[in-house]
């Protein structure tokens, strides 16, 4: 298994193949785990934007604990089931509990006072002993939301997703994924739908896109449809968000040129950086016939950002934490484990439809 977890970015001059999805580094969780409240690694503190740091830590938590996060909610380590001391077993005052949550999050995640943390309404959750709470993180530039579970006695705060063991994850994913008015390639009536969550700055996403377009679609002709979703990893990729917005703008302006544009962006990854990304994205769009003026207006106004945010929300809901992540008729495949894995998944999906 160790060979599957190489660094996300290709070292300069390296010709090594890519087998690892883009996401937080493997050593991040071990570097953070076990530190006292308020202590976080210097590399983590130096990331741009507190919202991004909060998002990165959340990814580290989920990556380090995998799907167990939220399943053993009251017996997990301190980071996931963090005890918030209370002087009474009775349900505490909501305002006081909100202040306690904010104070704890600031100490644990190193969030400065300049960043506003707002605790939303306490709602009943799937468990009668827990509240669903959403905390909004606002650094003045953008807002991010983090869902928490709070024990009703005010003693525990739980970070992570909760997965139901009473439903089939494949069926749940198919129900949660929207395929209407989405950029896609292949016939709508195809018996197999592959939904790809990708980051346009992710090297493995570029490899997977080439494989899906050149090999898999050619092999299965009209039997497969691919639906493209945006999942920019803004905590580790500095132009991914802009590219995701440009991609969705391109779809809205000229749906027929979407796949060609996406392919061109992937092929030119090495030439794009945070400084030139706007100009590069516009120039590449012009090469495939997308109206430059319309794309400029859409990109600069971020008119398509709600579509990107909806893709991210949807992906997180069904367990996406790294890119690329695909769902073959609801079956999750993370990264690019090899062509045979995709062929087998398609064959099984076709067999199930017979």
Confidence of residue 186 (pLDDT cuts 50, 70, 90): very high
Residue-wise pLDDT tens digits, 245-273: 999 999 999 999 999 999 999 999 999 99
pLDDT given at position 142: 79
pLDDT given at position 76: 36
For the chain, what percent of residues have pLDDT higher than 90? 60
pLDDT given at position 54: 52
Distance CA 222, CA 204 (A): 25
Higher pLDDT, 325 or 75: 325
pLDDT given at position 20: 58
Q: Is the pLDDT of residue 80 over 50?
A: no
pLDDT given at position 71: 30
Q: Is the pLDDT of residue 190 over 60?
A: yes
Higher pLDDT, 41 or 109: 109
What CA–CA distances, in Å, run from 136 to 51, 71, 140, 332?
Answer: 10, 24, 12, 29
pLDDT given at position 17: 45
Across residues 323-335, what is the average pLDDT? 96
Chain-wide mean pLDDT for the chain? 80
Across residues 301-308, what is the average pLDDT? 97
Residue-wise pLDDT tens digits, 16-58: 444 557 775 433 333 333 444 444 444 334 444 444 445 554 5
What are the residue boundaries of the structural domains of the chain, listed by start? 18-159, 169-353
Across residues 96-124, what is the average pLDDT? 91
- Among 20, 324, 330, 334, residue whose Cα is nearest residue 197: 324
pLDDT given at position 55: 52
Confidence of residue 13 (pLDDT cuts 50, 70, 90): very low
pLDDT given at position 290: 98
For the chain, what percent of residues have pLDDT higher than 70? 75
Superfamily for 169-353?
Answer: Glutaredoxin (3.40.30.10)
CA atoms within 13 A on the CB side of 298: 25
Q: Is the pLDDT of residue 15 over 50?
A: no
**3 state SS for the chain:** CHHHCCCCCCCCCCCCCCCCCECCCCHHHHHHCCCCCCCCCHHHHCCCCHHHHHHHHHHHHHHHHHHHCCCCCCCCCCCCEEECCCCCCCCCCHHHHHHHHHHHHHHHHCCCCCCEEEECCCEECCCCCEEEEEEEEECCCCEEEEEEEEECCCCEEEECCCCCCCCCHHHHHHHHCCCCCCCEECCCCCCEEEEEEECCCCHHHHHHHHHHHHHHHHHHHHHEEEEEEECCCCCCCCCHHHHHHHHHHHHHHCHHHHHHHHHHHHHCHHHCCCCCHHHHHHHHHHHCCCCHHHHHHHHHHCCCHHHHHHHHHHHHHCCCCCECEEEECCEEEECCCCHHHHHHHHHHHHHHHC
Find the range with the poorest average confidence among 17-26, 62-71, 94-103, 315-324. 62-71
Residue-wise pLDDT tens digits, 117-171: 999 999 999 889 999 999 999 888 878 888 899 999 999 998 876 777 777 778 8
pLDDT given at position 221: 86
**Burial letters 23-36, b for 16+ CB under 10 A, else e:** bbbbebbebbeeee
Confidence of residue 342 (pLDDT cuts 50, 70, 90): very high
Higher pLDDT, 222 or 8: 222
Across residues 342-353, what is the average pLDDT? 96
Confidence of residue 334 (pLDDT cuts 50, 70, 90): very high
**Cβ 149 vs Cβ 133: under 8 Å:** yes
**Cβ 100 vs Cβ 151: under 8 Å:** no
62 contacts: CB under 8 Å, gap ≥ 6:
69, 160, 161, 321
The sign of the CA dihedral 229, 231, 237, 238 is positive
């Amino acid at each position: 298994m160790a060979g599957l977890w190489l660094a996300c970015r290709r070292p300069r001059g390296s010709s090594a193949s890519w087998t690892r999805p883009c996401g937080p580094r493997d050593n991040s969780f071990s570097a953070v785990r076990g530190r006292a409240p308020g202590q976080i690694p210097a590399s983590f503190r130096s990331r741009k934007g507190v919202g991004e740091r909060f998002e990165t830590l959340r990814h580290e938590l989920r990556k380090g604990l995998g799907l167990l996060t939220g399943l053993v909610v009251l017996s997990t380590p301190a980071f996931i089931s963090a005890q918030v001391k209370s002087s009474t077993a009775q349900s505490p005052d909501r305002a006081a509990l909100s202040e306690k949550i904010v104070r704890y999050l600031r100490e644990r995640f190193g969030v400065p006072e300049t960043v506003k943390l707002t605790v939303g309404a306490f709602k009943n959750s799937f468990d009668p002993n827990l509240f669903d709470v959403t905390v909004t993180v606002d650094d003045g530039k953008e807002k991010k939301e983090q869902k928490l579970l709070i024990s009703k006695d005010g003693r525990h705060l739980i970070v992570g997703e909760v997965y139901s063991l009473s439903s089939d994850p494949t069926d749940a994913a198919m129900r949660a994924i929207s395929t209407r008015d989405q950029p896609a390639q292949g016939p709508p009536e195809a018996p197999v739908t592959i939904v790809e969550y990708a980051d346009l700055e992710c090297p493995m996403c570029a490899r997977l896109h080439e494989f899906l377009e050149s090999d898999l679609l050619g092999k299965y002709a009209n039997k497969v449809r691919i639906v493209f979703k945006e999942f920019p990893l803004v905590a580790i990729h500095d132009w991914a968000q802009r590219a995701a917005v440009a991609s969705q703008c391109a779809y809205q302006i000229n749906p027929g040129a979407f796949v060609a544009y996406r392919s061109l962006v992937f092929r030119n990854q090495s030439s794009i950086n945070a400084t030139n990304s706007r100009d590069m994205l516009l120039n590449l769009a012009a090469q495939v016939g997308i109206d430059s003026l319309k794309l400029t207006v859409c990109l600069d106004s971020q008119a398509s950002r709600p579509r990107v945010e909806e893709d991210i929300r949807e992906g997180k809901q069904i367990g996406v934490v790294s890119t690329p992540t695909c769902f073959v008729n609801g079956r999750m495949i993370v990264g690019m484990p090899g062509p045979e894995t995709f062929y087998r998944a398609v064959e099984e999906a076709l067999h199930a439809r017979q």
